[in-house]
């Protein structure tokens, strides 16, 4: 059994070190933010698919010094990752409705990850538009930086980076949804 574990670890290490495309981790909503949204007495909204999402920020992400890239678990597009994650957060807060006349249109602008030597970083930015009955009432770009403890060893740094990407997306979505201007627009 010990021999099998060493072989599996060795194969995994070679896989990470030789450079490859690794599928990212699916989004998990931030339940503290969901509670804040539920307490906000907000109207239901729809998330509109942005067909003009930034292609450069949307297909795969280089993991910095590692030779690996990360692809989205949602059809290969990080634009779609943002849209699905926003929809999931709204669903969990009971604020999503496909029939709503209020639509949020997100556009991923920057999607940068770095495994780092001792500190990993994610820098994300997205533009969010809110339309009510097809009329734009809000348009703002948000940028977040998320950091985590990383390692010089790629076998540790790459999985840690994969784990932290959904947290960075959570921060970006929460920065938008909990913005006081957004809250005022969505207030019942």
Give the burial string for 104-113 (b: 16+ CB within 10 Å, else e): bbbbbbebeb
φ, ψ of residue 155 to 5 degrees: the values are -60, -25
| 14 lies in some domain | no
Domain ranges, residue 74: 20-186
Question: What is the predicted pLDDT for the residue at 59?
Answer: 66
Asked if the structure places residue 136 within a domain, the reply is yes
Neighbouring CB atoms inside 10 A of 176's CB total: 23
Closest CA to 108 of 65, 59, 145: 59
Q: What local confidence, expressed as pLDDT, does residue 61 receive? A: 76
Question: What's the confidence (pLDDT) of residue 16?
Answer: 42
For residue 1, is it within any domain? Answer: no
Query: Which CATH number characterizes residue 139's domain?
Result: 3.40.50.10610
Residue 6 forms part of a structural domain: no
In the block, which residue shows the tokens 């989205």? 72
**pLDDT for residue 75:** 78
Does any domain span residue 5? no
Q: How many domains does the chain contain in total?
A: 1
Cα 184–chain centre separation = 24
**pLDDT below 70 — which residues of the chain?**
1-19, 52-59, 64-67
User: Is residue 2 a part of any domain in this protein?
Assistant: no
4 domain residue, yes or no: no
């Amino acid at each position: 059994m010990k021999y099998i574990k060493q072989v599996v670890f060795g194969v995994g290490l070679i896989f990470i070190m030789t450079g490859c495309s690794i599928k990212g981790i699916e989004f998990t909503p931030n339940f503290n933010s969901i509670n804040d949204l539920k307490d906000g007495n907000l109207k239901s909204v729809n998330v509109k698919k942005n067909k003009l999402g930034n292609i450069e920020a949307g297909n795969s992400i280089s993991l910095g010094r590692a030779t690996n890239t990360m692809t989205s678990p949602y059809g290969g597009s990080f634009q779609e990752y943002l849209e699905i994650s926003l929809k999931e957060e709204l669903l969990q807060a009971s604020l999503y409705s496909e029939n709503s006349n209020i639509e949020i249109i997100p556009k991923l602008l920057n999607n940068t990850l770095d495994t780092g030597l001792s500190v990993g970083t994610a820098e994300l930015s997205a533009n969010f538009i809110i339309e009510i009955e097809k009329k734009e009432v809000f348009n703002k770009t948000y940028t977040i930086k998320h950091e985590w403890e990383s390692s010089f060893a790629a076998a540790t740094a790459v999985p840690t980076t994969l784990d932290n990407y959904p947290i960075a997306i959570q921060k970006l979505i929460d920065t938008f949804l909990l913005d006081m201007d957004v809250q005022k627009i969505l207030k019942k």
